[in-house]
């Protein structure tokens, strides 16, 4: 593999900072740590943005890929696979990292994120990337597409499930609520939405922008099965996903309370880190903090 730094390949560098040559990515805490570490590295190299969202959504994506989704990394188009749509496409690095670590494509490729000629655009793109179902980036679209997919699966009598990960700020978009009506109308119990509820959007706190609370009650009044959990507690997320699977009539939404920038003290709850990229001292400090908090 090509040298990345200090005589090591990109993959070696990340895995050595975890202290595991072959990490157990079936452990969601390990996978979440790797998502964070890749997120820092990928946004550092590319000077790409959205590290705050990558860090807040890490456990959600990790639990999905480590524990919940039925997929075959060697056969990404396996017809019976569960479908995941990252509707908050700006956290694409988190999904790319999870896919690579779970074997959909080489981990080494993550260093090309945002790069000229690479296939890993800042917002997720399905073009040529194994495991990505839908290209997103404009907020609000994913839940409708997921609704169509879940309905299509039911019409065909297929058992696979559909998962859509949204941002809380994304719930400003009217289209989210159009989809909420439609999924309830069809009683799509095979559809699970997970909201990365980090309380912040691009410019400010959600509540200071457009009041989403009481978010639980909003979804409940739209007729969904609603759960609210700590979005950094992998066991709680697993239980909630299990409960969504057990729901036989209603579509489910899991409001996952998270912290934007979670895991790196100076990024936590700091709006600056929606767009800022870790460079210089800040990059070094971010790596040190992660290494001090290995799973």
Partner 1 sequence: MRDAFVRALMSEAERRPELMLITGDLGFGVLRPFWERFPEKFINAGIAEQSMAGVAAGLAMTGRKVIIYSIGNFPTLRCLEQIRNDCAYPEAEVKVVCVGGGFVYGPLGMSHHATEDMGILRTLPGITLFTPGDPAETEAVVPEMLRCHGTCYLRLGRGGEPLVHGAPLRDWHVPSALTLRTGRDTAILSAGGILTQTREAAEILAEKGVGAEVVSFPCLKPLDRGRILELARRFPRLYTVEEHTVIGGLGSAVCEVVAEEGLPCRVIRLGIPDVYAREVGTQQYLRGVFGFDAAGIAGRVEKEEREAGRR
- Residues numbered 179 to 208 that lie near partner 1 (CB under 8 A) are 179, 181-182, 185
Computed on alpha carbons and rounded to an integer, the radius of gyration of the chain in Å comes to 18
Question: Can residue 156 be called a binding residue for partner 1 (CB under 8 A)?
Answer: yes
- Does position 152 bind partner 1 by CB under 8 A? yes
Using rule CB under 8 A, residue 77 touches partner 1: no
Smallest distance from partner 1 to CB 151, Å = 6
What's the farthest any 2 CA atoms get from each other in the chain?
Answer: 57
The answer to whether residue 168 forms part of the interface with partner 1 (CB under 8 A) is no
**175 contributes a contact to partner 1 by CB under 8 A:** yes
Instruction: Tell me if 71 contacts partner 1 by CB under 8 A.
Output: no
| CA distance linking residue 276 with residue 61, whole number of Å | 22
Residue 68 within binding range of partner 1, rule CB under 8 A? no
When asked if residue 120 is in the footprint of partner 1 (CB under 8 A), the reply is no
In terms of CB distance, is 137 or 295 closer to partner 1?
137
| Segment lying near partner 1 (by CB under 8 A), choices 96-104, 141-149, 196-204, 251-259 | 141-149
Task: Single out the segment in contact with partner 1 by CB under 8 A; choices: 8-16, 92-100, 131-139, 277-285.
Answer: 131-139
The strand order across the sheet containing 225-230 reads: 83-86, 162-167, 191-197, 252-257, 225-230
Q: Is position 128 an interface residue for partner 1 (rule: CB under 8 A)?
A: no
Report, in Å, the least distance between residue 83 CB and partner 1. 8
Q: Which residue's CB is nearer to partner 1, number 33 or number 151?
A: 151
Contact positions toward partner 1, by CB under 8 A? Answer: 126, 133-138, 140-141, 143-153, 155-156, 174-175, 178-179, 181-182, 185
């Amino acid at each position: 593999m090509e040298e990345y730094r200090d005589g090591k390949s990109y993959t070696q560098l990340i895995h050595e900072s975890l202290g595991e040559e072959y990490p157990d990515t079936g452990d969601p805490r390990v996978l979440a740590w790797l998502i964070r570490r890749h997120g820092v590295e990928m946004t550092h190299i590319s000077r790409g943005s959205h590290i705050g969202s990558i860090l807040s959504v890490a456990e959600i994506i990790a639990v999905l890929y480590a524990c919940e989704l039925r997929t075959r990394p060697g056969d990404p188009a396996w017809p019976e696979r569960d479908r995941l749509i990252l509707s908050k496409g700006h956290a694409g690095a988190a999904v790319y990292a999870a896919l690579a670590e779970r074997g959909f494509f080489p981990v080494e490729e993550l260093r090309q994120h945002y790069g000229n000629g690479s296939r890993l655009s800042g917002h997720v793109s399905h073009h040529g990337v194994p495991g990505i179902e839908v290209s997103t980036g404009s907020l609000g679209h994913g839940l409708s597409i997921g609704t169509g997919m879940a309905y299509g699966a039911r019409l065909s009598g297929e058992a696979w499930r559909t998962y859509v990960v949204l941002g809380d700020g994304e719930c400003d978009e009217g289209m989210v609520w159009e989809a909420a009506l439609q999924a309830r109308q069809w009683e799509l119990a095979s559809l699970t939405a997970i909201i990365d509820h980090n309380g912040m959007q691009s410019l400010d706190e959600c509540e200071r922008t457009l009041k989403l609370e009481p978010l639980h009650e909003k979804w409940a009044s739209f007729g969904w099965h609603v759960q609210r959990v700590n979005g950094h507690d992998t066991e709680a997320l697993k239980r909630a996903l299990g409960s969504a699977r057990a729901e036989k009539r209603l579509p489910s939404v899991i409001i996952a309370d998270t912290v934007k920038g979670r895991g790196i003290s100076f990024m936590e709850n700091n709006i600056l880190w929606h767009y800022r990229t870790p460079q210089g001292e800040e990059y070094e400090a971010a790596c040190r903090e992660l290494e001090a908090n290995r799973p």
